[in-house]
Each structure stands twice: as structure tokens, then as C-alpha cells.
Amino acid sequence: MKHTPADLIDAIVDNMRQNLEELKYTTLAPSRYTVYLSQAEFTRLEGIIPRMQAEAARALDEEMARVNRPSMLRSMARKVSQLSTGRRPPLENAGPRWHVEFLSDTDGDLAAPGDIIVHSDLILAPDLELGIGERTRRITTVRSGDATTTRERVTDTDNLGPKIPASIHARLTYSDNLGNHDYSLVRDLTTIGRGGQAHPVDVRVSTSEDVSREHARIRRDTSTGQFYLIDLSTLGTTLNGRHVPRGVDDNNGVKRENGQETALPARARIGLAETVFLDFEQVIR
């Protein structure tokens, strides 16, 4: 099924509605959107992409104005809510302008010509009390046939300026279709899988589709140095030959992590769908 340009613009607006951050006086909407199209669809629409970008920005402006425009029922409800909770913060663009980009899928994530992927990225404020720096929340919407799935991922935002050499906390060694690999874990979150446009991963494994695009994640507790394994997959993840509990729930097409994780020993063997095995070794100082 081919999408009209209007369908693609509506998908951007729908994605924006799912990635809002409410502050005390404003509600922020992400300013940056990336839309991936199949190569055939991109070629068909390539000549009008500048016009589509302009109309997508206009549609986002109109949605923001619609949300902020008080209807009669909304005004009555607001008058009641003002007595207890105050006025709902108005919706604003988190950046100076909308940035919308249409790209061709080069990873083969989109099986049919009408499939699309929409990313939106919203920078979240740091929480100094919890020692959390600036982060980016990415909402990814994948439309494939009649099905729509939504995923949320929060990652650290790279700081500008001189880079301090990162400490190596652990290492992963494994073999896949491209040969032998050695990966150093220097961050507190490391995602492993086949990856793709809709599934950014840190350790990209070249193997069969039994391994999920985002298959597993390794988390390091900064206060204790303990590592934990989180299964994000369809066909399962093993730790030293035993399956670990699934760490993600699927609720009406929306996948969110549920907090299930398994402590990693200093040395361990991690299996991805019993297809690729990674040897984990913590660096002890």
C-alpha cells in the first residue's frame, strides 16, 4: 500500500503527540523528525520532498495551534481544573524551528513499499540532584501494513567540547557472519542486536533474523559497578546456558521495558536466540 504525502505528514504529527514533555509553564514538542521510506517510495516522492518538508512544518504549527486554542468544552474544563491544578501548560516547539528530514531506507528494515519509520528526538533537561546529565528521548513509530508499533528509547546526549578518554568497564568478544569482534564497554547502557534504521544499537551483530534488531541490553549500575542483562528479544536471551526473563512488555503495539533484569557475573557467556554467543568479561580495577 502506497502512502500519499498527506499520510506521511499525518504520521509525523501523530508521532509528535507521543513525545511531549510537560514542564511547569510549557509543554515541549520535539523539533526534529526523521522519516524513512522504502527505496521505491523515496524515489517516487524525491522530487517533492522540499514541498513535503514545508507542509510538514505547517502541519506541526497547526497542530500546536489547535492544542493551544481553547474550545468551549475545553474552556469549561479548564475553569474547573484551574481551581485545583491550574492551567495546562501551552504546547511549544522545543527548538527555534521544525526540522523534518525524509530519507531512503538503506538497511532493509522496510519490507513493503508502503512501510514507513518515523523518529522524533526530544532533548530532556538534566537532573542534577540525581546526577543525570542531558538525555535525548527518541520515539520511533513503525507502520508496516495495517500494524503500527511504537518504541521509546532514552539515551545520553553527547557533550560538546574536548573528549576525556573513557574508562573501559568490561569487554565483549564474539563471532558473527563478518568475523571475530572485540567490543569495549565504556558507557552505562549498551544495546546489542542486528540494528537498523528503526533500531539503533551499540553492538551490531551480523547474523540471521532469529536475533532481534534490539535483542539485549547490558546496564551498569554507576553506584556499585554491577552489570545487569536485559532481554529485549522475541526468541530469548541466555546467560551461561539459562534463559533470562524477558525485560520488555508489548501493550497494543507499544513496547516498553518492564524492569526485569539479571545480574551478570564478572565472566559470563550471553546467547542471542542460541545463534550468536558473546563472552562478557568485567574489567576489575
How far is CA 142 from each of CA 118, 257, 270, rounded to the nearest angstrom?
A: 7, 18, 28
CATH assignment of the domain containing 199: 2.60.200.20
pLDDT value for 145 = 78
Average pLDDT of the residues of the chain: 85
Closest C-alpha to 142, from 98, 101, 112: 112
| 152 and 175 co-located in one domain | no
Q: Which range of residues forms the domain containing residue 174?
A: 170-282
> Quick one: pLDDT band at residue 249, thresholds 50, 70, 90?
confident
DSSP code for 52: H
- Residues 9 and 148 reside in one and the same domain: yes
Task: Kindly give the residue spans of alpha helices, DSSP state H, lying in the chain.
Answer: 5-17, 39-45, 49-68, 72-82
Q: Identify which has the larger pLDDT, 264 or 105.
A: 264
Q: What is the mean pLDDT of residues 193-207?
A: 87
Number of C-beta neighbours around residue 121 at 10 A: 20
What's the number of domains the chain is made of? 2
In the listed set 121, 156, 191, which residue is the last one of a domain according to the structure?
156
Q: Assign residue 56 a region (left: φ > 0; alpha: ψ between -120 and 50; beta: otherwise).
A: alpha
Task: Give me 126's grid cell.
Answer: 538534566
The band of 160, judged by pLDDT with boundaries at 50, 70 and 90, is: very low
User: E strands within 71-165?
Assistant: 91-93, 99-104, 116-124, 135-144, 147-156
Residue 175 is predicted with a pLDDT of: 95
The residue among 176, 202, 201, 204 whose CA lies nearest residue 275 is 176
**SS3 for 185?**
strand
State the pLDDT at residue 86.
54
Does residue 163 sit within a domain? Answer: no
Whether 66 and 151 map to the same domain: the answer is yes
Q: What is the pTM of this model?
A: 0.63
Q: How many CB atoms lie within 10 A of CB 84?
A: 6
Pair 211, 177 in one domain: yes
Average pLDDT of the segment spanning 87-92: 83
* Cα–Cα distance for residue pair 11/33, rounded to 1 Å: 11
Mean per-residue pLDDT, 169-185: 94
Give phi and psi for 58, each to the nearest 5. Answer: -65, -40
What average pLDDT does this structure show over 140-167?
A: 70
CA 9 – CA 102 distance, rounded (Å): 11
The band of 84, judged by pLDDT with boundaries at 50, 70 and 90, is very low
Residue 189's closest CA among 136, 139, 267?
136
At 29 the pLDDT is 96
Which residue, 133, 156, 179, sits at the end of a domain? 156
Write out pLDDT tens, residues 26-55: 999 999 999 999 888 999 999 999 999 999
Q: Contact, 135 vs 151, CB < 8 A?
A: no
Cα gap 29→32, rounded to integer Å: 9
Higher per-residue pLDDT: 78 or 259: 259
Instruction: Please state whether 236 falls in left (phi above 0), alpha (psi between -120 and 50) or beta.
Output: left
Q: Which three cell numbers stand for residue 98?
A: 521544525
Residue 253 lies in a domain: yes
Structural domain includes residue 240: yes
Residue 164 lies in a domain: no
One domain for residues 13 and 141: yes
Local confidence band at 208 (pLDDT 50, 70, 90 cut-offs): very high
- pLDDT at site 165: 53
The verdict on 140 and 196 lying in the same domain is no
Mean of pLDDT values over 134-139 = 84
Q: Which helix (H) or strand (E) holds 272?
A: strand 267-272
Final residue of a structural domain among 156, 178, 202: 156
CATH of the domain at 33: 3.30.2320
Q: Residue 161 above 50 pLDDT?
A: no
Residue 211 and residue 205 in contact, taking contact as beta carbons nearer than 8 Å: yes
Per-residue pLDDT for 158 more than 70? no
pLDDT exceeds 50 at position 123: yes
